[in-house]
Structure 1
Amino acid sequence: MRNNEDSNKDGKHKEGSHKEGNQAGPSSITPIGQGRVHVIRDDEEALAVATALAAQFAPGAQSRDRERRLPVAELRQLRQSGLWGITVPREYGGAGVSYATLGRVFAILAAADGSIGQIPQNHYFILEIIRHEGSEEQKRFFFERVLAGDHFGNALVEPDVRRPEDRKVSLVRDESGSGYRVNVRKYYSTGALFADWVPVAVADEEKRHFLAIYPRTAEGLRIVDDWASFGQRTTASGTVIADNAYLKPEWLVPHSVNADHVKPVGPVGQIMHAGIDTGIARAAFDATVAFIRQRNPKADDAPADAVWEEDQLSIREIGDLAVALHGTEALLERAGLLIDKAYRTNLAADWTRAAVAVSEVRAASTHSSLLLTNKLFELAGTRSTAPDHGLDRLWRDARTHTLHDPVRWRLFDVGNYYLNAKVPLRRPKWAENQQKPKAMPEGPEPVTGALPEPRLAAGL
């Protein structure tokens, strides 16, 4: 086992889910970065660490949700465990775990706490962008910092911009010529309040897109804790404001948002979201079975192999839920394996298959998480709605997270691939040509809300 010493450093969802909040500065929350950091070596260890952390996080999930208490202590445990660094490539000292493993890690964490399961998503997404678009110097610097315990938040989504391509100019040269200045307001900034680094999505006057990666305590960068959704209450997915914030040139990472082919960061980002919903579905299934067993216990003198036969309809429903859950878990594994294959071959056809598989599991995990969190109450009965049980947290977390980006587009991608052999990109051409609606935010992966032409709809 190797440990890295911590050192001093310079450094979602739907409209109506923000509240008036406090502006976060350097001393607004207890610093996450304290203590020694373990370095995870392989996939097996990553899964073992995630499982151990989930067992520690689960008992307090209900009270954190009820009190809207931010998981500062839990994120410190996550940091010290080394889990932040599991996707750092092996040539840079990390475990370089498979994407099948990464999907399972998210499912494990989200089953324990849907908010904690959400917070790391942007961190690994930013690491993926740096891996593909960062310079060699940026890779070495940020990968080393992550292995030492640093993690990324995000500031990607602008209130009045539905598509990344339409971002307004927010990055200009500093008058001194030594760096840049950024002026922009972002929301749904999951994890920024806890992070060491806050990547801000920006565009320059030539409509080139970048990540401006700031230390969380940078002058001119303000984080407002105004997240007020009814679900995933403790993700701190609030507002980030860059007010003429100075940026060093070495912290500016290119990030292309236009592509005529599947880019690795897309499927990787989405499989983590699928893992979150899959984990919530697993938690709901386990809670349903436990509640029914508690409601209908076997007699003390019943034989060891006795079964619950009093409620045949509930037994049938549990079977249906098990099939839905296990099917989703299998699709999650399959999508991860196809991403892994695409990384090995780097063939466009393999990346397309991986993207389609991820869309399939995004759709399946959305369906399963909503189905299982609803059926939980139907099968467990009225007593399950008592606030002491805290089971509503599972439904609220599932309903909130599944609004991240519309599942109808995932189903469209899948159908369009199998029927028309179309590569699943951000959106089809006919959607690009529609008039853009005014200020209707859809989350970190915005899409237009236009309907297809009737002829195309009929063809599907």
Structure 2
Amino acid sequence: MNKPVSATSLQPSDRLHSHSPDIDALLSRIAEGASDRERERVLPFPEIDLIRNARLGALRLPADAGGADTSIRTLFEFVIRLGEADANVAHILRNHFSVVERLVRRPTNDQHRQWQKAVADGAIIGLAATELDTPKVGNVTPNTILTADGDDYLLNGTKYYSTGTLYSDYVLVRTADASGANAAVLIPVKREGIELIDDWDGLGQRLTATGTTHFRNVRVKRDEAVFDAPDTGYGIPYSNTFAQLFLTAINAGIARAILNDASALVRSRKRTFYYAPSETPSDDPLLQQTVGQIASGAFAAETVVLAAAEALDAATDAFDAGDADAEAAAHRAALLSAKAKIVADEFAIRSGSLLFDVGGASATKKATNFDRHWRNARTLASHNPNTFKARSIGQYEISGTPLPAKGFF
């Protein structure tokens, strides 16, 4: 019988160590069968329950609120390792940690404190923000509407790309009231009128349930709606940097997973090509070189992600302290995160192809499922393409033009 994963790493007196025995055991459990789950499309509900039961969704909460009080850098060390174990599970949790960062970590009223307690107890939060009938992704007024109904609201609309919500206890919904004022609504997923549909059919990240969510006359309490403001939630400049870097961290984890598979594949090979320089694959200098390239790419991807995470820590600390230079620090974090995305995405995608150079034709069999690494990395990289990132970085380097403060920067 598998040993239960404890939540001792979340005791207020401790800080999470990314290689603690509890974390190692949990990640090993999640990694078991990850390839089979992806190939057979077995949704990872038990694996998300491991996260929920270990209360790892509370890593960023303060110790006095039942969290681990980890830095963003430490959290992203964990995300990289989780992406290495199972990129789908890591992606499922992206919206949870993003919502915690926006609305739950620093509560301002009783309702926010209730959300914080729920997360401290293990609750997972999903997201329903994107609408397919809007002309731009991000900074637009949603068609999902809050209508006043007595002291409360009724919520109506349809969302897509609802990543992770199928596995979650709560969902954050981007909406607007009758005046067009944007708001974030955080409600239980089991509330009457919510329908979750697992209709995501992407070539990668197949188990994230990134599909459709319908809201039909869903009752929302007044305190469950947080309207955008300059110092709150989505109103904060560069508030999406965390969510973007989270995706990049998963790609850094995929690069590590590719290295693991490439090394194991060379060690296990019994045959080689007629013209190979060595009859023993593990002694073949060409295969050694390819694995070395993969290893270097994985190192580079992880390094740039953690450097950007440190900048995000500095920006968050500045905002929490009310520093006058908080927005400048946020811009620096967004800039480094954009640069990190370009580097990590390129290495993960390239390594996903190099993996087949160390395996030959047999590595392409469906049973190996090695193609999942390229598919998953390519899918994650397609969130807000690198061409837009590179252009904005170039503008900044040439003329000092700031990066966009909204959207995924």
Establish whether TM, by shorter chain, passes 0.5.
yes
Counterparts of 1:224-303 in structure 2 under 5 Å? 224-255=197-228, 263=237, 265-295=239-269
Shift in Å at residue 133 of structure 1? Answer: 8.2
- Change over 3 Å in CA distance of 1:120–1:203 after alignment to 2: same
Which range is displaced more, 401-410 or 165-174? 165-174
Q: Find the residue that maps to 1:164 and give its secondary structure.
A: coil
For 1:266 and 1:340, how far apart are their aligned partners in 2? 14
- Change over 3 Å in CA distance of 1:47–1:88 after alignment to 2: farther
* Aligned match of 2:274: none
* Aligned match of 2:401: 422
1:40 maps to 2:10: yes
| Structure 1 unaligned regions, length at least 5 | 1-34, 298-306, 428-444, 448-460
* Aligned match of 2:25: 52
| Structure 2 unaligned regions, length at least 5 | 272-279, 320-324
What is the letter of the counterpart of residue 281 of structure 1?
A: A
Please tell me whether the aligned partners of residues 264 and 351 of structure 1 are also in contact (alpha carbons under 8 angstroms). Answer: yes
Counterparts of 1:330-409 in structure 2 under 5 Å? 330-346=303-319, 347=325, 348-409=327-388
TM-score with structure 1 length normalisation?
0.77
* Aligned match of 1:430: none
- Deviations along 1:373-398, whole A, 9 cap, x unmatched? 11101222111111222212212211
Q: Find the residue that maps to 1:336 and give its secondary structure.
A: helix
1:122 maps to 2:95: yes
Counterparts of 1:55-454 in structure 2 under 5 Å? 55-131=28-104, 135-161=108-134, 162-175=136-149, 177-255=150-228, 263=237, 265-295=239-269, 310-346=283-319, 347=325, 348-426=327-405
For 1:232 and 1:257, how far apart are their aligned partners in 2? 34
- Deviations along 1:167-186, whole A, 9 cap, x unmatched? 344333333x2111111100
- Change over 3 Å in CA distance of 1:46–1:318 after alignment to 2: closer
For 1:242 and 1:271, how far apart are their aligned partners in 2? 29
Shift in Å at residue 320 of structure 1? Answer: 2.5
- How many residue pairs get matched? 387
For 1:137 and 1:251, how far apart are their aligned partners in 2? 10
Please tell me whether the aligned partners of residues 208 and 256 of structure 1 are also in contact (alpha carbons under 8 angstroms). Answer: no
Q: Find the residue that maps to 1:44 and give its secondary structure.
A: coil
Please tell me whether the aligned partners of residues 262 and 355 of structure 1 are also in contact (alpha carbons under 8 angstroms). Answer: no
Superposition CA RMSD, Å = 2.8
- Deviations along 1:394-418, whole A, 9 cap, x unmatched? 1221122221221112222322222
For 1:141 and 1:91, how far apart are their aligned partners in 2? 14
Q: Find the residue that maps to 1:349 and give its secondary structure.
A: helix
What is the letter of the counterpart of residue 233 of structure 1?
A: R
What is the letter of the counterpart of residue 350 of structure 1?
A: A
Shift in Å at residue 296 of structure 1? Answer: 5.8
- Change over 3 Å in CA distance of 1:205–1:46 after alignment to 2: farther
TM-score with structure 2 length normalisation?
0.87
